[in-house]
A and B are shown apart, each in its own frame.
Chain A
Amino acid sequence: AQSVTQPDIHITVSEGASLELRCNYSYGATPYLFWYVQSPGQGLQLLLKYFSGDTLVQGIKGFEAEFKRSQSSFNLRKPSVHWSDAAEYFCAAGNSGNTPLVFGKGTRLSVIA
């Protein structure tokens, strides 16, 4: 069955520190991969996506993600976290642009001073 795993339920980082959120997928073929962010009480905002090509993708708000086929991973990174980055982060995968996404269970990011 297709699945997306985010191993970390909750991560706390200090403001200004680097961040890496993990995501692993299990799919028959290389899926389309996405990272979304959800601030409290808000909808989901697309941070970045990977369809093909360059395995390092840049997104909004200074985020980037790297696709590693050998590890079935698509980890999200940010070199310096800001307090406003505190939110829930979801990794998702799909077969094509028009099929529903399968979401991971999310990783809650807390940022401390």
Chain B
Amino acid sequence: DTAVSQTPKYLVTQMGNDKSIKCEQNLGHDTMYWYKQDSKKFLKIMFSYNNKELIINETVPNRFSPKSPDKAHLNLHINSLELGDSAVYFCASSQTGTGEFFGPGTRLTVL
């Protein structure tokens, strides 16, 4: 029944590791996003996909690579994790006129 789901909810890992976060939406939306929320709660867009195509790629290290196998899924792969990558990552989706619907977030902690 969940509209936008993310896995895992928590991710604790060592520096230098590679990890992935998965996102799925069952709303039929064409557009999906990844946002990063830092320790001060500030939300910033990272990527935006429309119908599986990358539309927006903000100033994000190329260690971050999104992949959209179909328009219901948008995964985020992170290589060579650094301490500064620790944050909460939110997936969202939207359709014209709906506003954005957010997933529950993935809290990433890099040790």
Please report A residues at the B interface, Cβ cutoff 8 Å: 32, 34, 36, 38, 42-46, 49, 51, 88, 90, 96-101, 103, 105-106
Are A43 and B105 in contact, with the CB atoms below 8 A? yes
Are A98 and B102 in contact, with the CB atoms below 8 A? no
Please report B residues at the A interface, Cβ cutoff 8 Å: 4, 30-31, 33, 35, 40-45, 48, 50, 56, 90, 92, 94-105
Are A97 and B95 in contact, with the CB atoms below 8 A? yes
CB distance from A44 to the nearest CB of B (A): 4
Report B-chain residues with C-beta under 8 Å of the C-beta of A101: 45, 100
Are B41 and A100 in contact, with the CB atoms below 8 A? no
CB distance from B43 to the nearest CB of A (A): 4
Nearest A residue to B44 via CB reads A103
**Pairs of residues from A and B, 4 with the lowest C-beta to C-beta distance, nearest first:** A97-B96, A100-B45, A44-B102, A103-B43
How many Å lie between the Cα of A98 and that of B92 in the bound state? 11
A–B complex contacts, Cβ < 8 Å, 6 sampled: A36-B102, A97-B95, A98-B50, A100-B56, A103-B43, A106-B41
Known contacts being A97-B94, A100-B48, is A90 close to B99, with CB within 8 Å? no
Known contacts being A43-B90, A99-B48, A105-B42, is A34 close to B105, with CB within 8 Å? no
Report A-chain residues with C-beta under 8 Å of the C-beta of B40: 105
How many Å lie between the Cα of A49 and that of B50 in the bound state? 22
Are B41 and A88 in contact, with the CB atoms below 8 A? yes
Nearest A residue to B43 via CB reads A103
Known: A43-B102, A96-B96, A97-B95. 14 other contacts (CB 8 A): A38-B41, A43-B90, A43-B103, A44-B90, A44-B92, A44-B102, A45-B102, A97-B96, A97-B98, A97-B99, A100-B33, A100-B45, A101-B45, A103-B44
Nearest A residue to B98 via CB reads A97
